[in-house]
Structure 1
Amino acid sequence: MENNWRKKFAILWTGQFFSLISSSAVGFAIIIWLSLETGSAEVLAYAAIAGLLPQALIGPFAGVYVDRWDKKKTMIVADGFVAVCTLVMSLGFYFGYQNLEFIYIILGLRSVGSAFHMPAMQATVPLLAPRSELFRIAGINQIIKSVSNIAGPALGALAIGMLSIGNVLLLDIAGAIMAIVSLLFIHIPSPVKETKNQTNLVLVWEDMKKGLYEVLKNKGLSFLFLYSIIAGFCLMPIGVLFPLMTIEHFKGGKFEMSIIETVWGGGMLVGGAILGIWKPNIHKVIIINISHVLIGIAFAWVGWLSAQSFIFYTLLTGIAGIAASFYSAGFTALVQEEIHESLLGRVFAMYFSIEVLPTVFGLICTGYLADAIGVNVTFIVLGLVIFLVGIASFLTPSLMNLRKKV
């Protein structure tokens, strides 16, 4: 491991980069298309729900099988399934079948593939790299995601301006193929497996409970999950409403939308670069808590800005992006350190499901709320809640005592 992990990650990250940047471009193109076609926060919220709910519902079951199955094959099949779903959507647009129900269904099917790919990817990291490097690797992962978030929207805005939405979707298929090819060149070991009948639903349920118990028996980790879920409940709707905030409150267009997405990605890139180069000798929980405080202040402040303060809007978005990068890397590395490799797949899948299910309700409410009271007031309310989560985290002893070594 000590000699080969860097080479393996270089190959893995290359494929993931092309997959992420193409998905980012296509995702932003779909957002632009929906925003311009409907101008409705409710439609954007339903699109986000369609892309999240299936993954949340089957996530705990998927996590159990991810821990049992070959993770390399799992990611290959998941990427392939998502590519096929995207091809179907592209063909639908090509033949003029562009109703919202069709889009929601395909986004939901893509979510099923992500339900297996996401926990498999997270569970793979500790199998390839030394534990002492997990925080740094999480930072480098943030760099890759951030570059994708910067280049993706720019590519998506350019593509939607030059091509039909159906042709833009083909970029995602090319990215998925690159990810699959890169996986063929690396070996991913598997942790020791329990010899059980994989089709026994009773045993699957028992394995799911093991993942839940692994979190609940650790009081500090339980609070970490709880506070992260509350913050995610607020942060997810903010991400969905970004385009409408730019269009409606700051009177922007495609160009301004791409600037905000680029600045958000740039902030995450800066945060990831800092973590990738500098190994901070700071308690990870403190990093996570400060990140929540900064994100909350930034987004609440955005809501208070006047329509003429677009430049300050971009600055606050960049600060929030840096903080989000630190939070994501700190959370991922902390969980990977606390949970045994054989349980990571189900724990990450379970966390995502528990986080997303209330978030779906939040997205529904936020869609109506933003249409009723305005997007800017919604930013203020959600930002203040995230800020209070950070303060509450500092006041929780069991969380502050969690894994004090870096």
Structure 2
Amino acid sequence: MNNWKKVFAIIWTGQFFSILTSSIVNFAIVLWLSFETKSAEVLALATIAAMLPQSILGLFTGIFVDRWKRKLVMILADSFIAFCTMLLAVLFYLDIAKLGHVYLLLALRSVGSAFHMPAMQASVPLLAPKSELIRIAGINQIIQSVCNIAGPALAALFISFMKMTNILMMDVIGAALACTSLLFVTIPDPENAERTQKVRLLKEAKEAFTEVRRQNGLSWLFALSILGTFFIMPVSVLYPLMTLNHYSGNAYQISLVEVAWGIGALMGGTFLGMKKFHLNEISLINWMYILLGVTFLLSGILPVSGYPLFVILTAVGGVSGSLYMASFTTVVQTRIDPAVMGRVFSFYMSVNMLPSMIGLLSTGFLADTIGIGNTFMIGGVLVGLIGVVSFFVPSIDDLRRSFRK
């Protein structure tokens, strides 16, 4: 086994337990909010709390990720998230946890993620050959998918007989394992002349934007991804309430839908990760918009008796999401200079999230006014149109041709 494979094996082992426990905790919180409030508005606000700090801080965190030791950034970020989760566990133990406390925890976890995610993504190209990046992205999707399958199922099981305190403490243990695994590997940092210079936030943040614009077609790819998230996010938040309200489902049926998405994503990640395929990443991105849009549209058309088909459509959506994310990540990792990659990833994550906040704010109103099914249909049509338009943007087509194997 090559050295880079050993390094990834160690990192992935720790990350697996961290992502799994986070998935359990996140879905346990979703279940707790769903049963306590049965409100689309509350779920939307919880999602905003989990995204807003990361989206704002992410405009600048990449600047520090590119300057600091990336391994240390990941360890400190994971430790901070674990500490915040432990505080909420104490509040549940004392039986004084309120809705506001949950919002605050989600916001604080988001602060940690604003540093951890770009540090992790920016480290990958420094650890493996470029020719292996699509496989690595596929394997990352496998790990995410397995955790997205097991997490909701375990959360639904645990919440039926365990206190929230004990469930939350699992995330603390998972973070400790992730930090420990990082201690056993060396993650190189790219040469960066700015490391010893004074931080100039606006100037260095602008450099990420300039780097994206410098790559022909990449700015259009980013713009359409941001527009897609604007329509996808409000719909994705409604999955638990679609099951609970439209299908009169229970905790296990809610978790089954989440598991179905995870199984689909696992299939997509396995397809990319098991061997080298001669695929065009840009074409995959465009087709996955269309496929996801179709699953949203059909899910909204289904009658109340269509729950089994809804589960299948959700799994297909998981396939599309997995292939899309792996392809998009690979394009960025292949095209962007490693010295500014932390900035580019954090910049993208921030700008991608900010417009979706507007969509999330309208989620409760849309679901209550026109119905959850209609919201799915409208979202599906708009997402699918983005995929169709992508094929006719000249600069994206030029980028697609440059990725032709």
Per the normalisation by structure 1, the TM-score is 0.97
Partner of 2:296: 299
Partner of 2:36: 37
Partner of 1:224: 221
Map residues 41-56 of structure 1 onto 2, 5 A cutoff.
41-56=40-55
**8 Å contact from structure 1 (residues 42, 371) kept in 2:** no
1:246 CA displacement? 0.6
Distance, in Å, in 2 between the alignment partners of 1:384 and 1:77 is: 42
Deviations 1:342-374 (A, max 9, x none): 111000000010010111111011122112221
Aligned counterpart for 1:342 among listed residues 339, 342, 345:
339
Partner of 2:90: 91
Return the letter of the residue paired with 2:38: G
1:89 CA displacement? 0.8
Return the letter of the residue paired with 1:88: L
**8 Å contact from structure 1 (residues 227, 389) kept in 2:** yes
Is 1:325 aligned with 2:322? Answer: yes
Structure 2: unaligned runs, 5 residues or longer: none
**8 Å contact from structure 1 (residues 79, 117) kept in 2:** yes
Identical counterparts, % of pairs: 48
Map residues 188-227 of structure 1 onto 2, 5 A cutoff.
188-197=187-196, 200-201=198-199, 203-227=200-224
Map residues 345-384 of structure 1 onto 2, 5 A cutoff.
345-384=342-381
**8 Å contact from structure 2 (residues 216, 398) kept in 1:** no
Distance 1:217 1:255, change over 3 A: same
Distance, in Å, in 1 between the alignment partners of 2:398 and 2:249 is: 45
Return the letter of the residue paired with 1:362: G
Return the letter of the residue paired with 2:178: A
Return the letter of the residue paired with 1:316: L
Partner of 2:396: 399
Return the letter of the residue paired with 1:389: I
Root-mean-square deviation (Å): 1.2
Partner of 1:241: 238
Distance 1:90 1:223, change over 3 A: same
Is 1:162 aligned with 2:161? Answer: yes
Return the letter of the residue paired with 1:392: V
Distance, in Å, in 2 between the alignment partners of 1:279 and 1:397 is: 28
Is 1:109 aligned with 2:98? Answer: no
Distance, in Å, in 2 between the alignment partners of 1:216 and 1:195 is: 21
Partner of 1:135: 134
SS in 1 for 2:257: helix
1:195 CA displacement? 4.1
Distance, in Å, in 2 between the alignment partners of 1:256 and 1:79 is: 31
Per the normalisation by structure 2, the TM-score is 0.97
1:404 CA displacement? 2.1
Partner of 1:75: 74
Distance, in Å, in 2 between the alignment partners of 1:205 and 1:191 is: 21
Partner of 1:313: 310
Deviations 1:78-112 (A, max 9, x none): 00000000001111111122221121112111110
**8 Å contact from structure 1 (residues 22, 172) kept in 2:** yes
1:335 CA displacement? 0.5
**8 Å contact from structure 1 (residues 66, 74) kept in 2:** yes
Tell me whether 362-371 or 260-269 shows the greater mean CA deviation.
362-371
Return the letter of the residue paired with 2:363: T
Deviations 1:269-298 (A, max 9, x none): 000000011322121110011111000001
Distance, in Å, in 1 between the alignment partners of 2:343 and 2:77 is: 16
1:405 CA displacement? 3.3
Partner of 1:144: 143
Structure 1: unaligned runs, 5 residues or longer: none
Return the letter of the residue paired with 2:376: F
What number of residue pairs does the alignment pair up?
403
Partner of 2:285: 288
